[in-house]
Amino acid sequence: MMNFNYAKSFIISILIFILGCESNKNYSNNDPNIIIIYTDDLGYGDVSAYQKGTLKTPNIDKLANEGIRFNFGYASSATCSPSRYALLTGKYPWRKDGLRVITGGSLVIDTTEMTIPKLLKRKNYRTGIVGKWHLGLGSGDGVAGSGIIDYNSTISPGPNEVGFDYSHIMADTQDRVPTVYIENGDVVNLDPNDPIEVNFFHQKKHDDYGLPTGLKNPELTTMKWHHGHNGSIINGVPRIGYMKGGNNALWSDIDMADHFLQKAKEYIKRNKENPFFLFYTLQQPHVPRTPHPRFEGLSGMGPRGDVIIEADWAIGELYKTLESENLLDNTLIIFSSDNGPVLNDGYYDDAVEKLGDHTPKGGLRGGKYSLFEAGTRVPFISYWKGKIKPGISNEMISQIDLLNSISKLVGLDYRSKDGIDFLDLILNNKGKGREELILEASTRTAYRKGDWVMIPPYKGQSIAKNVNIELGNSLEFKLYNLKDDPSQKNDLSKIEDKKLKEMIKGFVKIRGKEFTNIKNLVLE
């Protein structure tokens, strides 16, 4: 007969073994690390896995070729702030009144709203953001950009109040002041004796300080402004807005890629013992394009190409860190971009002149700011070493769907109203994608369903002259079939009357009654 104590310890060891295995299994299968790598203004055709051409992005290509490459992956919007809002909350950005590109404005995510990092906190994830934020800071009301944020004390609410327990960010964009990094609400390296003053409207006030601006002192700039961008000159680059003080805290533009990469690596190393979520939001290839000198000239396309090569390099370095920390088997990586491409976005930087035969739009029509496909259709990749099999998907998926898919991945029930759980598509390339989707560009919206896209009538310029992009504005409904006509050359609205009506109906059903004021909108 077995000795009682012996039997007891035997049973306990077996239990410990089972529990041990169980927790291990949970960690790797249900609570993997999740990294969303998010570029800024990178086009559908800028990634060489999407379009073989002169520009090479080997590190992004690795994720695309060894993971799932979505050919119909969408950002919610054709500009940055709305897309980021939608990605993090799983909600359509047009549900938020007037949500547009933020310039010094307050936080647009309500602290009561669900976000991906907030959701993951329920499963004890560590949650961090490193890079561009552009969702506003502080709770000041009044006109965005009128100096409502005080950068000299801890800024709140911000990323840390909507779910991130670590944030190391630039507030808006690289072309907007203040040109400083903010970590967990505090400006990094700020000397209290040299406080920061920012404003976006009062050039006169700034002139009174006797500080140089792009408008008055073009001789002091190393990068010339083309439109906008004639405020404070910092590191030779004229910016949007005016800034005084904070000299110790100013970032170095050419070191930005290295800086964010370093912070992202440190974050991974610090948190590797726990499941973690990292939102790594690169600043490239948004303007001003300031490659580190070691990337200068590598693309032969001027700074825009060079910073894409720089971003691709940084992604490769991040990958190496995951590899050397043995985290690859346990980490889901999603790669995408916040909106489509633009060449001249306000500086003379040779983006147009040196483009050669490279096509950032990858054959799509429009670009950043546009309701045509190139505005919102972006590179979209899922990668998980050893778990996701290489594949290509032609199913429609949006960044709005990431929150619900991630919720499913970690075994939570929360679902946002606008998003759809596409975990099976993201991990196994199985199942159907979206049937329909609302596309947004600077608060205008269009409707995608099946192979079709319908753009309602909008007043306003058809081409934004400064950036030379077709915005999708016209005084009539437009209808395109993307299967037969991927570059939206043939408007079928006059021929496919029944389809057009069906599309308008579907559109209004989601957009709601506030949309019945469109000129010419015919419901039946």
* Residue 288 C-beta: closest distance to ligand NG6, Å: 9
For residues 318 and 264, the answer to whether their CB atoms sit within 8 Å is yes
Cα 458 to Cα 30, 294, 376, 424, 446: the distances in Å are 46, 45, 18, 37, 10
Cα(309)–Cα(303) distance, integer angstroms: 10
Q: Does 61 bind Ca ion (CB under 5 A)?
A: no
Interaction residues for ligand NG6, span 280-319 (CB under 6 A): 286-287
For residues 100 and 443, the answer to whether their CB atoms sit within 8 Å is yes
Residue 101 binds which entry of Ca ion, ligand NG6, none, CB below 5-8 Å type-dependent: ligand NG6
* Residue 237 C-beta: closest distance to ligand NG6, Å: 12
Interaction residues for ligand NG6, span 392-451 (CB under 6 A): none
Binding-site size, Ca ion (CB under 5 A): 5
In the numeric block, the tokens 């007043």 are attached to 459
Among 69, 118, 126, 134, binds ligand NG6 (CB under 6 A): 134
Interaction residues for ligand NG6, span 226-285 (CB under 6 A): 227-229, 240
Cα(375)–Cα(338) distance, integer angstroms: 10
Between 40 and 61, CB nearer to Ca ion = 40
Q: What is residue 204's three-state secondary structure?
A: helix
Cα 131 to Cα 30, 239, 260, 312, 345: the distances in Å are 27, 18, 6, 15, 20
Residue 523 has which token pair? 């419901």
* Residue 40 C-beta: closest distance to ligand NG6, Å: 6
Interaction residues for Ca ion, span 65-84 (CB under 5 A): 80
Among 291, 346, 362, 472, binds ligand NG6 (CB under 6 A): 346
Q: Does 40 bind Ca ion (CB under 5 A)?
A: yes
Between 322 and 446, CB nearer to ligand NG6 = 446
Q: Does 338 bind Ca ion (CB under 5 A)?
A: yes
Cα 348 to Cα 228, 272, 343, 377, 448: the distances in Å are 12, 43, 10, 26, 35
Among 31, 40, 440, 470, binds ligand NG6 (CB under 6 A): 40
Cα(431)–Cα(411) distance, integer angstroms: 19
| Binding range to Ca ion, per CB under 5 A, among 234-242, 258-266, 330-338, 348-356 | 330-338
Between 138 and 341, CB nearer to Ca ion = 341
Which residue's Cβ has the minimum distance to ligand NG6?
Answer: 228
Q: Does 339 bind Ca ion (CB under 5 A)?
A: yes
By residue count, the chain amounts to 524
DSSP state of 389: P
Residue 424 has which token pair? 């099976």
Between 172 and 338, CB nearer to Ca ion = 338
* Residue 76 C-beta: closest distance to ligand NG6, Å: 12
For residues 59 and 48, the answer to whether their CB atoms sit within 8 Å is no
- E strands, 341-389, where? 347-348, 380-383
Contact footprint for ligand NG6 (CB under 6 A): 40-41, 79-80, 101, 134, 173, 175, 227-229, 240, 286-287, 339, 345-346
Contact footprint for Ca ion (CB under 5 A): 40-41, 80, 338-339
